[in-house]
C-alpha cells in the first residue's frame, strides 16, 4: 500500500535492519527500541492490523508464529524469555497501520505488560 511505512520498507524504499525474512514475512529492528531486543514482525501482504487479518490465510498465520520463533532464536532471547505484543487501533496505541507483532526481550521485562 502506497504511503504505508512497512510496505515501503518491504519495497526497499526505506532502509531497515532485517533480522529475519522469508516469502511471507519480514522482521526488522524497531527504530525506537523499548528493550535490548525489540524486533517488529509483519506480513508482506498489507493488513491494517489484527482485526482485518484474513483468518483463511492459514499459511500466513503459521508464518507469523514461525517468524516469532526464528527471531527469538537469531537474537538469542529464546532461552531467557521474551514478550510478544500486538497493538490494534486507537486505544491499543497502534501507530503504524500495517499488521505487526513486537518481540521484546534481552532483559527482565517484569510482570506488567504496559
Query: Binding of Zn ion at residue 100 (CB under 5 A)?
Result: no
Is 102 labeled as catalytic in the residue annotation?
no
Which of 38, 98, 100, 102 is catalytic? The answer is 100
Ranges of beta strands (E only) in the chain are 18-21, 25-29, 37-43, 82-85, 101-105
What span, in angstroms and rounded, lies between the C-alpha atoms of 12 and 6? 10
Query: Binding of Zn ion at residue 4 (CB under 5 A)?
Result: yes
Is 54 exposed, middle or buried, given 0-12, 13-18 or 19+ CB atoms closer than 10 A?
exposed
Of 72 and 99, nearer to ligand 5GP (C-beta) is 99
What span, in angstroms and rounded, lies between the C-alpha atoms of 81 and 89? 27
Q: Cβ(67)–Cβ(43) under 8 Å?
A: no
- Which of 12, 32, 58, 112 is the binder for ligand 5GP (CB under 6 A)? 32
Q: Which residues in 81-110 contact ligand 5GP (CB under 6 A)?
A: 87, 93-96
Query: Binding of Zn ion at residue 109 (CB under 5 A)?
Result: no
Of 1 and 74, nearer to Zn ion (C-beta) is 1
Residues that bind Zn ion (CB under 5 A): 1, 4, 6-7, 46, 98
Tell me the catalytic residues: 100
Amino acid at each position: 500500500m502506497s504511503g504505508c511505512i512497512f510496505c515501503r520498507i518491504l519495497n526497499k524504499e526505506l532502509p531497515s535492519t532485517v533480522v529475519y525474512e522469508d516469502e511471507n514475512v519480514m522482521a526488522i529492528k524497531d527504530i525506537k527500541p523499548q528493550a535490548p531486543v525489540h524486533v517488529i514482525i509483519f506480513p508482506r501482504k498489507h493488513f491494517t492490523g489484527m482485526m482485518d487479518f484474513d483468518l483463511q490465510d492459514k499459511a500466513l498465520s503459521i508464518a507469523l508464529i514461525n517468524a516469532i520463533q526464528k527471531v527469538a532464536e537469531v537474537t538469542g532471547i529464546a532461552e531467557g524469555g521474551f514478550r510478544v505484543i500486538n497493538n490494534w487501533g486507537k486505544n491499543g496505541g497502534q501507530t503504524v497501520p500495517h499488521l505487526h507483532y513486537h518481540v521484546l526481550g534481552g532483559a527482565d521485562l517484569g510482570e506488567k505488560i504496559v
